[in-house]
């Protein structure tokens, strides 16, 4: 059977270690030529060498995704090295755990710059490069967007990427570019940053990599604007957030709202921290 990414050229950000490294290696095994991108230039070069030693094609690039121009530079490198751009895994990210009341301005800025601006920089550059020719973008999000202890900032950045995924999927449908999201769980340096019990940290990144390769490849041709969850114990698709419980009416006084919340909308009131369900405590 033909390999899923034969003759494709793809960019993987944050690919020097952890999940990004596993995605890059898995994509190369499925036939892709890979741009291994990371702010850790030496780490990215090492992963590109590892791919080459294994018989694959890879080049590396060392820069922060949040720097203006990094998206275009990655696209240019991919074109120069491999002639085309067919896909992007928007994976680079930082965790920045901590209580919302205690995080300093520099941490807040860096987390948003990396996890949101970085994703926009690379995603829009890839979208422009693939427009009209076809391609796929996989945005890496997290179950923490549903609400997770000491991860409000991180979760908010991932919620932003969920919004980007839904919006880009609509725009991409007119350009031939599919945009989906993946919420992984695997034991990496990032999971170790959270500390705590090893039991909840997930399994090996290699076990999650096929989900990212699947969303990048034509095997997922029917999927656009979808969110896949792969945590090493199950595979799931997330239902889009929706206004699930409604009461018709135009004039909403305080008393009328009170009545609706206690009445027909009572079913929609979830205890704090439980609205997110089982994924709430996971990065």
Q: Which positions touch ligand NAD (CB under 6 A)?
A: 13-14, 16-20, 38-40, 43, 64-66, 91-94, 114, 118, 140, 142, 183-186, 188-191, 202, 283
Question: Which residue(s) pair with 247 in the sheet?
Answer: none
CB of 251 to ligand NAD, least distance (A): 43
Helical packing angle, 118-130 and 152-173, nearest 10°: 10
23 as an active site residue: the answer is: no
Residue 96 or 220: which CB sits closer to ligand NAD?
96
Nearer to ligand NAD, 50 or 175 (CB): 50
Q: Least distance from C-beta 120 to ligand NAD, angstroms?
A: 13
Q: How far is the CB of 259 from ligand NAD (least distance, A)?
A: 40
Q: Which is nearer to ligand NAD, 127 or 190 (CB)?
A: 190
- Residue 17: CB minimum distance to ligand NAD, A: 4
Which of 154, 191, 201, 214 does the annotation list as catalytic? Answer: 154
Please tell me which residue in 60, 96, 148, 158 is annotated as part of the active site: 158
Least separation in angstroms between CB 187 and ligand NAD: 7
Residue nearer to ligand NAD on the CB measure, 189 or 255: 189
246 within 8 A of 235, measured Cβ to Cβ: no
| Annotated catalytic residue 158 | yes
Query: If we measure between CA atoms, which residue out of 80, 83, 77 comes closest to residue 11?
Result: 77
Q: Return the exposure string of 156-169: e unless at least 16 CB atoms fall within 10 Å of the residue's CB, then b.
A: bbbbbbbebbeebb
Q: Nearest to residue 110, comparing CAs of 102, 118, 122, 100?
A: 118
Catalytic residue among 60, 66, 96, 142: 142
Count Cα atoms within 13 angstroms, Cβ side, for 165: 31
Nearer to ligand NAD, 15 or 32 (CB): 15
**Could you give the residue numbers annotated as active site?**
142, 154, 158
């Amino acid at each position: 059977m033909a390999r899923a990414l034969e003759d494709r050229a793809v960019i993987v950000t944050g690919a020097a270690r952890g999940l990004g490294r596993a995605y890059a290696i898995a994509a190369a095994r499925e036939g892709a030529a890979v741009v291994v991108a990371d702010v850790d230039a030496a780490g990215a070069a090492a992963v590109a060498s590892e791919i080459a030693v294994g018989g694959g094609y890879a080049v590396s690039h060392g820069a922060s995704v949040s720097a203006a121009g990094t998206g275009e530079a990655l696209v240019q490198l991919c074109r120069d090295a491999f002639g085309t751009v067919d896909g992007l895994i928007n994976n680079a990210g930082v965790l920045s755990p901590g209580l919302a009341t205690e995080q300093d301005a520099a941490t807040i800025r860096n987390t948003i710059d990396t996890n949101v601006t970085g994703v926009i920089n690379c995603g829009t550059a890839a979208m422009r490069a693939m427009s009209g020719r076809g391609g796929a973008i996989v945005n890496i999000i997290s179950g923490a967007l549903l609400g997770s202890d000491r991860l409000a900032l991180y979760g908010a950045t991932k919620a932003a990427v969920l919004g980007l995924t839904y919006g880009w999927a609509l725009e991409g449908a007119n350009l031939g570019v599919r945009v989906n999201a993946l919420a992984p769980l695997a034991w990496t340096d990032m999971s170790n940053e959270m500390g705590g019990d090893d039991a909840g940290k997930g399994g090996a990144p290699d076990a999650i990599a096929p989900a990212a390769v699947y969303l990048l490849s034509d095997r997922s041709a029917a999927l656009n604007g979808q969110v896949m969850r792969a945590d090493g114990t199950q595979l799931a698709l997330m239902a889009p957030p929706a206004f699930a419980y409604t009461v018709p009416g135009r004039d909403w006084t305080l008393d009328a709202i009170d009545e609706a919340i206690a009445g027909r909308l009572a079913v929609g009131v979830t205890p704090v921290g439980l609205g997110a369900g089982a994924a709430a405590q996971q990065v």
